[in-house]
Amino acid sequence: MRTGFPQRKAEVWLRQSDAENAIYDPGTDEVHLLNMTAVAIWTLCDGSTAPEEMILAVMDLSGLPRDVVQEDVLRILGDFEHAGIVTWRE
């Protein structure tokens, strides 16, 4: 698992509505649509929350096994990094 703490890029903003959740990056003029789980993980990307903490919290809430939760959380974080909307603080 990658070390460090994912940090939302400050200039990126989230728009939430009943219909959809979208992240807009003015730097690239790109819009990324997120499901509610990804939005929740996004809110945890504050630069001081480790992926392990996110995984444990989702496990606590959902009761799902670790391998399922870890795969989902890490995939979401990887998607955020690939989209350039989070950076990693060591």
- Residues interacting with another protein, by CB under 8 A? 16, 36-37, 39-40, 42-44, 49, 53-54, 56-58, 60-63
Which helix (H) or strand (E) is 73 found in, with range? helix 66-83
How many CA atoms within 13 Å lie on the side-chain side of 38? 19
**Of 18 and 29, CB closest to another protein:** 18
Give the whole-angstrom CA distance, residue 73 versus residue 70: 5
> Cβ of residue 29: shortest distance to another protein, in angstroms?
26
> Cβ of residue 42: shortest distance to another protein, in angstroms?
8
**Of 28 and 62, CB closest to another protein:** 62
**Of 23 and 54, CB closest to another protein:** 54
**Intra-chain end-to-end CA distance of the chain, in Å:** 13
Q: Is 78 helix (H, G, I), strand (E, B) or coil?
A: helix
> Cβ of residue 50: shortest distance to another protein, in angstroms?
9
